[in-house]
Amino acid sequence: MLPSIPSGAPGHGAKSVVREVRAYLAGAGVDFGEKASSNWMNGRIAGPLTHFPEYRESKLSWGRDVLGSVVVEVEVASGEVGIGVSTGGPPACWIIENHFARLLEGRQAGEIDVLWDVMWRASLYYGRKGIAIHALSAIDLALWDLKGKMRGEPVFATLNNRARKELPLYATTPRPDLAQGMGFVGGKMPLIYGPADGDEGFALNLKLAEQMRSRTGGEFFLAYDAWLALDVEYARRLVPALAERGFWFLEDFLIPDDYAGFSDIKRRCPPGFHIATGEHEYTAYGFKLLIENQCCDIIQPDVTWCGGLTELLRIEASAEAGGVRLIPHASSVYAYHFMMGRPDLPFGEFVNASDDGASIVPMYGPLFTNEPLPEGGVVRLSSDPGFGVELNPKLRLSRPFLH
């Protein structure tokens, strides 16, 4: 466990006592921000239900957007407010307001590691993975935001004062060729067809891979995100075929708990090809299983889901000890601050949430007034305190539960 902040440090004292924890709903969409049904994220993409014909054409058909986004505010006695986000909808809001709030209110906001441990242990009997950890993650990020604001420094400076000035990014997009023209270092496409689509779908996946490789050339890296859609047999066929076409990695292609399956595919990988996963893994305990079972070359914790920044730091330590590369999954400004303070991490991920991947739009939609966006394939952060983002006052947030 990380050491607590000593008494007298910023974030410690009467002014930094947590006065109230508030949880709001911010619309639908697991990627923060409602999207049109025509958006590429809502279209035909291989997923965990696409072996059922009735759920094959759209992710919306099986409720990927059903929970919605959660915004947490942690206010201390001085009136300063920290902001964190995650997903989990009304269930996460209920956990925050009716369980976690009582564990934080009246305690020191600066004791982030202690508060994390209290929330995690208190929810072990129903939590450990999923919505409870999403709720915990949002609170943890709000506490880090608050810590930076009370210290008068950005979170990246709190983590490491030798932060780089800009962070290169790759784009998750249906159009890697367009992303290359925007200056990104690589492009990750959604896999369109899964095992239920048979040999014809397999061939179409490879045809798209060949098209994008021919359009982008050899220096621009390419990857496929199969989003929990495949089985081991299909992956055994797909990996060498992608390697032959100059792809760099395949991501999240099995259900998250199939550690043996991931390990099997990693052992069979051709030289230079990589296995990536972890977007749907939780806490350092889950990532320890991925690392010890040699499931992947790249772990991809999402800081808004895995347990927040506090837990991401522990996951980072496990990755370093296990010789596995860490490249966070998405999460925009919250991940950027972590990576900006770590010059050894090669690049971050930008999820292009525009309808067709042809323009740059905020990942969180209208949630913030000043979400940092990439320019020329790199992102630069302001020196504003905390994570440096402000909630959009025009956005209609709802608070479904009061404690």
Positions marked active-site:
329
H-helix segments, 193-294 = 198-216, 232-244, 259-268, 283-292
Q: Are 141 and 338 in contact (CB under 8 A)?
A: no
Question: Which residues have a Cβ under 8 Å from the Cβ of 93 and sit 6 or more positions away?
Answer: 23, 24, 25, 70, 135, 399, 400, 401
Q: For residue 320, what are the CA distances in angstroms to 271, 297, 317?
A: 21, 12, 5
Taking Cα atoms as reference points, which of 228, 221, 307, 260 lies closest to residue 45? 228
CA–CA separation, 70 and 79 (whole Å): 21
| Cross-strand pairs, 74 | 21, 82
CA–CA separation, 273 and 319 (whole Å): 19
CA–CA separation, 396 and 398 (whole Å): 7
Taking Cα atoms as reference points, which of 209, 221, 235 lies closest to residue 295? 235
CA–CA separation, 48 and 200 (whole Å): 19
Locate 280 and state its tokens. 């749907």
CA–CA separation, 265 and 275 (whole Å): 8
Locate 318 and state its tokens. 């496990």
